[in-house]
Amino acid sequence: MTESSPATPTTPAAQPDAVGVVDPMRIPGVGRARQAWHRLPVLGQAFVVLVAIDVVVRALGLFGTQLFFDIGNPLSVITAFVPHDALILLPAVLIWRRPDAVEALPLVMRGAILVALVELLNAPLRGLTSGNQLDPFVGPTVISIAATFLMAAGWVTLAIGLRELNPPKSEQSTAGLANVVAGAIALAAIGNLAGVLLLPGTDVGDARWNALLQLNSAMYVLQTVALAYLARIVVLGNGDARRPSIARTTATAAMALLAIGSFMTTVISLLALTQAAFAQSLGLGAGPIWLVIGLLTGPIAMTALVVAFGLGLADPSGTIEPAVETHQPIRS
């Protein structure tokens, strides 16, 4: 009887596809990213592309825009991209979470698209119109006024859409927190309005330009009020058990941070106007600690709100995983 030679032992190293071995020609995560891209509806893909275009345009300094990225400043890695690009991505995040968001959440999607487009086009359009040598002021200021108004409209539309998902009646503690958060943000709006009405405005040497500056400041008051309304609706939704708890908690924390930032800014501004020496002695608004607070209560908080939508803030399915059904066929 002839003995057969023993089979060569198979080890993971001998099998390129074995578990634990990475194909040297394959970048980890690319497959999942490609799959996510293919299942994302066309509208979502469009906003992802717009974010890429925005980064390139700002990096090249086109249309008077800047990326504000400095290798010597590590924090610019954050501030160069968020919340600006995160807000532009908001429609894509919503559609990634719910491919049927356009039909199922029409107001939420309209508000998100309006916010994203304003965030995308505001700076380039102001840069384009500022090139008018005869009147470099009116064009950019009018665009800024229109953009601020449209951003406020986007926040309100988003809030109305989310309000439809909220329970008819919230718990007393949730309602109280919502009022506190919205009130703190609204307080900043009241402070800004008082400044517009009571403080002497900037004189740029032209009555028409001065009026436009004052109107521009008033529009920021409107935008802050709209954000306060959105904050109240978001926090009231914290009592909706149908939506993932992590999404509700993240959104509530984001709005609370925005409220803290708004309140602190109002107090510091008031002290700077009435007790300038005292404010300077305390170092209010200056130093590393205030920089960290500003990041947490500004860019990071707003970005966290976008993340909350990705976690299911507008998805009453109650699951943490995004829906996989889509009207667009999934390509292999």
**What tokens does 179 get?**
């009022």
DSSP 231-251: HHHHHHGGG-TTS-HHHHHHH
CA torsion 206→211→214→219, rounded to 10°? -130
Q: Is the pLDDT of residue 275 over 60?
A: yes
Percent of the chain with pLDDT over 70: 83
Position 155 scores a pLDDT of: 98
Q: How confident is the model at residue 283 (pLDDT cuts 50, 70, 90)?
A: low
User: Residues near 30 by Cβ (< 8 Å), separated by ≥ 6?
Assistant: none
Q: How confident is the model at residue 16 (pLDDT cuts 50, 70, 90)?
A: very low
- Torsion-angle region of 290 (φ positive above 0: left; ψ -120 to 50: alpha; else: beta): alpha
Position 279 scores a pLDDT of: 63
**Average pLDDT score over residue span 5-14:** 49
**Average pLDDT score over residue span 253-266:** 94
Q: pLDDT tens digit string along 114-148?
A: 999 999 999 999 999 887 777 778 889 999 999 99
Q: Is the pLDDT of residue 229 over 70?
A: yes
Please give the residue that has the higher pLDDT: either 70 or 15. Answer: 70
Q: How confident is the model at residue 332 (pLDDT cuts 50, 70, 90)?
A: very low
Most confident listed range (70-84, 159-173, 207-221, 306-320): 159-173
Position 329 scores a pLDDT of: 40
Tell whether omega for the bond before 99 is within 30 degrees of 0, i.e. cis.
no
DSSP 5: P
Q: How confident is the model at residue 222 (pLDDT cuts 50, 70, 90)?
A: very high
Q: Which of 81, 88, 50 is nearest to 66 (CA)?
A: 81
Task: Output phi, psi for 252, to 5 deg.
Answer: -65, -40
Position 330 scores a pLDDT of: 38
Q: What angle do CA 235, 318, 165 make, to 5 degrees?
A: 45
Position 32 scores a pLDDT of: 81
Domain spans of the chain, in order of start: 31-311
Position 326 scores a pLDDT of: 42
If you average pLDDT over every residue of the chain, what do you get? 85
Position 291 scores a pLDDT of: 84
Q: Is the pLDDT of residue 278 over 70?
A: no
DSSP 91-141: HHHHHHH-TTHHHH-HHHHHHHHHHHHHHHHHHHHHHHHTT-SS-TTHHHH
Q: How far apart are CA 44 and CA 39, in angstroms?
A: 10
Which amino acid, residue 103?
E
Position 20 scores a pLDDT of: 54
Q: pLDDT tens digit string along 19-63?
A: 555 555 566 667 788 888 888 999 999 999 999 999 999 999 999
Packing angle, helices 245-274 and 299-311, rounded to 10: 160
Poorest-pLDDT segment among 51-55, 198-202, 230-234:
198-202
Q: Is the pLDDT of residue 201 over 80?
A: no
Q: Is the pLDDT of residue 3 over 60?
A: no
Position 21 scores a pLDDT of: 53
